[in-house]
Amino acid sequence: MSQSSKKNLTVGVLALQGAFREHCYALVQAGAEPVEVRRRRQLAGLDALIIPGGESTTMGKLMVSYHLLDPIRELGAAGLPIFGTCAGLVMLAREVCEGDQPLLGLMDMKVRRNAFGRQVKSFEAPLSVPALGEPLFPGIFIRAPWIESAGPEAEILAEFDGHPVAARQGRMLVTAFHPELTDDLRLHRLFLEMAAASRAKQPHPMTPPSA
């Protein structure tokens, strides 16, 4: 994808809590224009959306309170590219193993929250991500989930310790780790390539359903 086409992409970053500023910085470094999203009207005109890491239960409740859950679900179902990291992966899943919380339910996955342990057990590990080529990707895991099971539509992109930690389904991309906390922009660039391909098929930016 050319540098000029990436600069024309406008990517929303859900900014209710979590590591949204780091995603915005990574997008700028990758050549896209980030927009912090806190209100429904800020979804208008986006080429793609990132749901960052944070605390998924709190994030789900905030998305309901700010009237964002249903509009984002409808935009994703209509084809808006969405990238979810850590808590964002949980939000995009159809089911969680434990408890009950608001979910977008856009990806055919069941996930386990905090699967790798609490924050004191955070760690970094090199990951093989064939879709990115070499070198290995620096995976930063903080209270990270894993994908417990996935349907046939979800393509597993990476595993750690026998558990899937990254996947792609249609125009959606998820990681259990935090690429925005590294200097490696390959996953953000992969997502921008997905967004650019989506826009080529649907040239007009998507708008949220009316209130």
Active site residue 24: no
Strand, helix or coil at 73? helix
Catalytic pick from 22, 23, 24, 180? Answer: 180
Provide the token pair at 13.
């970053």
Indicate the Cα dihedral angle 146, 31, 23, 97, nearest 10°.
-20
Catalytic pick from 23, 24, 178, 188? Answer: 178
Neighbours of 171 (CB within 10 A): 20
Active site residue 204: no
Active site residue 180: yes
Catalytic pick from 86, 98, 148, 204? Answer: 86
| Kind plus residue range of the DSSP H or E element containing 33 | strand 33-37
Rounded to an integer, what distance in angstroms lies between the CA atom of residue 188 and that of residue 32?
Answer: 10
Tell me the catalytic residues: 86, 178, 180
